Structures are given as structure tokens and as C-alpha cells.
Structure 1
Amino acid sequence: MSSLEEQIKTLEKDLINQPMRISAYHDLPFAIFLYHPGNEYLCRKHIRLLGISLEQNYKKKVTFISIGKMLWKIIKETEGIDALVSGEKQFGFDRIQQTINQLMTDRDFMPLADLLEEQVNHLDPSKDIVFLVRVGALAPAIFRASVLLNQMHGRTMVPIILFYPGTSEGLTDLKFMDIQDREMSGAYNYRVKIYGDI
């Protein structure tokens, strides 16, 4: 059994435990699953298998929510793709990343946390689990995943697992997508348990 499979099994055990052991805080039912970006497709396979196992063996309902799809929804329903392409040509890539971040955070547009809350507010915390996937769409620096988990605190009690492509930097930080020179850019939230390759 590979390290990835072992870590998925550890996560599964904590998800089926009563009460769940994914967090030390009752009001913060979130966790991060860290995996190397080079294992993206292998991780997707194991995530799907985990979802099937939770549903068939433990009567849980797993909802997969793609950060990538939400990102494109926000872009299409606010500024539009053409405006961003034009803006990138005129102002450069870094400026457009900042613009997209504003679209995802500013109340005048479509905050990502609000969109996620809409998608989970009908779910039952005792039966449902959310897997946040395709987080790599936020690369290289559109939005910090930790901000999303922090913003969801108090909005839902539905367990959420953020599948995070990256590597660990020491004991206190994660490096998103293993991008060099991106120290202190990770998703680490000291109150959220981290599974995976730490």
C-alpha cells in the first residue's frame, strides 16, 4: 500500500468515527488532505474510491465540489473571460490574478465563501461530507485556500475536506502546488487537521 493510500485510509477512519476525528474543535469540522501535485491523477482516483467506500459501507453522502468550476462561474458571471483576457494583455498576469482575487472576495462581486455556503447549506452534517477538489485552479496565486476554510467557520457544520496539492514547508506551512519561492503561501490553519504527506 502506498503512502497516499495509507493516508486516505487514515482519513477514512477519522471520517467514520463517531464523533468524527477530523478536527479537535466541534465548531470547525474541516480538514486538509495534502498530496504532491505530481500525484494529482492518482489522488483523484483514490478520492473517488474513498467517496464510494463512505457511501456504500458507511451510509455517508459525499458531495464533490470543484473549486475550479466555482472559479470559472465567478469569472463568467462577473467580469467575463473577454474582459480578463483584455486586462491581462494591458496590465499583465499578476494584475489579473489580483483582479480575480477581488472577484472572489469582494461583496460587490461573488465571494467564493458565499458560493460554497450556497452549495452546502442544504446538506445534513450528520450524513453529508464535502470533498473540495480541483484547488489547483487557484495557482499560482489567485486565492489562498486557507482563507476559504477560515471564511467557512461558523457558516456550516457539514464536514469539509480540502484536497490540497502542495508540499509541506517545515511543520508550520504548506507550499501550494510546490511552487518555488512561495513560502508562507500555504493553506495551513493551526486549528485544521492536515492529512497526507506532511
Structure 2
Amino acid sequence: MASLEERLDVAERLIKSESFRQNKGLGNEVGYYVFDYPAEKELIVRERIDYMKGKNLKGSDGFELVVFDLYDIVIDILESEGFMDQCFKFEKKKGLERIIKAVGNLLQVNDEDSMIVKHIQENTPKDAVVFLIGIGKCYPILRSHKILNNLHQAIDRVPVVLFYPGKYDGQELVLFSTIKDDNYYRAFKLVD
């Protein structure tokens, strides 16, 4: 089995290929991919993504690598709406389950016009590859299947890669080796 570093090397080569950026997966499906990795290797993956983003800034790849940290997007939306303090108070008063529901409703996570999807859509240039990171930091407020399913409806012009701290078998995601997400994904595994 390839090491994480070897898999990241393959991923870097893949996203630079013209055929990958044409955004057609197997069977001409829209190019949505999952790069899974052990959660304890999060810092290695973050460093490598930063490195790839830095290399891409030189402008010689023919595309822009756009990295969206889903956690940062959620926090930015909550702050811009003036809800951070209310979230802290509400969580103390009503508990985590209620804050998850309240924040989900605010972000319209279940809707096709989710605030997160809108943010990604509005900030993705024409010739891009999108990396989604930070899904582990968002759990349980934000679930990866909701983002992928809603993005799939809204963005089909560029390939999207979700970096997932867990296991993806091509059908379902398992977060932190114990939390199973029993939702079907229309995404390909980027690198075995």
C-alpha cells in the first residue's frame, strides 16, 4: 500500500493533468473526488495542500487551485451574521444537539441554496480545481454528504476534491474510524 506522501504525490500529478481538469469522471459523471487519509495525519495533509497552493500561485499550471476550509467558511458566516455570541449562549442553554440544528438552519445546509455552497460558487473562477478541507473540524455541525450533494447540484464546471480525515470506499465515508456516514456519494476516490 502506498504511503500518504506517495498518494499526495499522485494527487498532485492528477490535478495538473488536462484530462482531470476537463471535469469528467468515470462514465462522464461530474468530477467530484474524495481523498481520504488517516485523521491523525491531518497536519501532513494541510502542509501539503499549502505547498501545492503556493506552487500553483506561480501561474504556470493553467488553472487556479482554490482551497476552501469549510470550518473557516462556517465561522465567517456566523460572525458576519452576528451569531457567534448567540451560538455560545444557546449551546450552554440548550445543548449541542440544538446548536447543531440552529446553525444548520442558519446556513441552510439541507438546501440547494446553502450559504456555504453559494460562497464556494461565488469564489470559484472558471479555470480552477477546488479543494475542500476542514470537514473534520466541522463535525457534527456540517456533514460531508450534505456539502457534496448540494455542491453537485451547483458546481459542475470544475473538479472538486474533498479531503476527508477517515475512510472512503467509493460508497460511504467513515469519520474517525467509528462514525459511519451511511449516505451514498456521487464521488470518485481520487487515489487508492
Stretch of structure 1 that moved more, 97-106 or 35-44: 97-106
For residues 3 and 43 of structure 1, what CA distance do their matches in structure 2 show? Answer: 12
Q: Is there any run of 5+ residues in structure 2 with no aligned partner, and where?
A: none
Normalising by structure 2, what TM-score?
Answer: 0.81
Asked whether the equivalents of residues 7 and 195 of structure 1 are also in contact (C-alpha less than 8 Å), the reply is: no
Paired letter, 1:142: I
Written as runs of structure 1 = structure 2, the 5 A alignment for 1:7-22 is 7-20=7-20
Question: Cα gap change, 1:153/1:165 in structure 2, threshold over 3 Å: closer, same or farther?
Answer: same
> Is 1:98 the equivalent of 2:98?
no
RMSD: 2.8
Normalising by structure 1, what TM-score?
Answer: 0.79
For residues 80 and 158 of structure 2, what CA distance do their matches in structure 1 show? Answer: 27
Written as runs of structure 1 = structure 2, the 5 A alignment for 1:22-33 is 23-24=25-26, 26=28, 28-33=30-35
Give the alignment partner of residue 115 of structure 2, picking from 111, 116, 122: 111
Report deviation, 1:137. 2.4
Q: Secondary structure at the match of 1:74?
A: helix
Asked whether the equivalents of residues 70 and 135 of structure 2 are also in contact (C-alpha less than 8 Å), the reply is: yes
Q: Residue by residue, what CA displacement relative to the aligned partner does 1:161-190 show, whole Å, maximum 9, x if unpaired?
A: 11111234x6632122x063x22357x51x
Report deviation, 1:80. 0.9
Aligned length, in residue pairs:
186
Query: What is the match of residue 131 of structure 2?
Result: 131
Q: Secondary structure at the match of 1:183?
A: strand
For residues 38 and 54 of structure 1, what CA distance do their matches in structure 2 show? Answer: 26
Report deviation, 1:59. 3.4
Q: Residue by residue, what CA displacement relative to the aligned partner does 1:98-118 show, whole Å, maximum 9, x if unpaired?
A: 1111122267x9622122211
Asked whether the equivalents of residues 170 and 188 of structure 2 are also in contact (C-alpha less than 8 Å), the reply is: no
- Divergent runs of 4+, >6 A: none
Report deviation, 1:39. 0.5
Query: What is the match of residue 184 of structure 1?
Result: 181
For residues 40 and 34 of structure 2, what CA distance do their matches in structure 1 show? Answer: 17
Report sequence identity in percent.
Answer: 21
Query: What is the match of residue 193 of structure 1?
Result: 188
Paired letter, 1:183: K
Query: What is the match of residue 58 of structure 1?
Result: 61
Stretch of structure 1 that moved more, 97-106 or 87-96: 97-106
Q: Is there any run of 5+ residues in structure 1 with no aligned partner, and where?
A: none
